[in-house]
Amino acid sequence: MCNSDHVVKTLDQFVEQSQTAPLSLGEAFDALNQSSYALIAFILVLPFLQPLPLGPFTVLGGVAFTALGWQLFKGHASPVLPQKISQITFSNNTWRKLNSVCKKVLSICKKFTKPRYQSMVNGRQGEKVGGFILLASGALMVIPFGVLPFNNLLPGLAILFYAIGELEDDGVMWFIAFFLLIVTVLYFSAFFFALYFFGQETLNFFK
């Protein structure tokens, strides 16, 4: 079974493997006996958990999460990353940083997670709900907000809570993920509205 302890062991394995040569995401996930959507999503989302925009990297990450979400929603047994994502190479130092962040995040989450509403996260229904969360979060990341703060953090948090909910069989985490998706949509909508409103006001001023 893939759980939070398995995530830590997996990242420890990646750190060890990358000591001899840089390790790509594709090579790392190919080394797993049974790939897990939650495991891959958890590791991939860690770099996005910051307020500053990451430019094209955010768009690339959004494409990856959208692809994973679609595969999970359709019921594919094993996830496949897009080729451009698979070819991204991380050094040993980067894997160590990801491992450190992972352990900090998991240590915090373990304080308030427990198996709840397991029917929501298990079975075919769980695959569809989880797939939708990944798909929607990835789609929001793809929107190119190059200068907008939190454009990767908010959908990234939704993905994080999806992964935690899946790993810990905690449906409450998925409710939080849905709430974060709604907050993200409202935040982006407010930005678009402000852009349109002030744009119109500027045009009227110069007329």
- Cβ atoms of 131 and 74 closer than 8 Å: yes
How do the domains of the chain map onto residue ranges?
4-206
Q: Give the model confidence (pLDDT) of 115-153 as tens digits.
A: 888 877 888 888 899 999 999 999 998 886 666 778 888
Better-scored residue on pLDDT, 92 or 28: 92
Average pLDDT over residues 58-83: 85
154 in Cβ contact with 187 (< 8 Å): yes
Global confidence as pTM = 0.83
Q: What is the pLDDT of residue 50?
A: 82
- Average pLDDT value over all residues in the chain: 82
What interhelical angle do 37-45 and 4-17 show, nearest 10?
A: 60
pLDDT, tens only, 7-33: 788 888 888 888 888 888 888 777 664
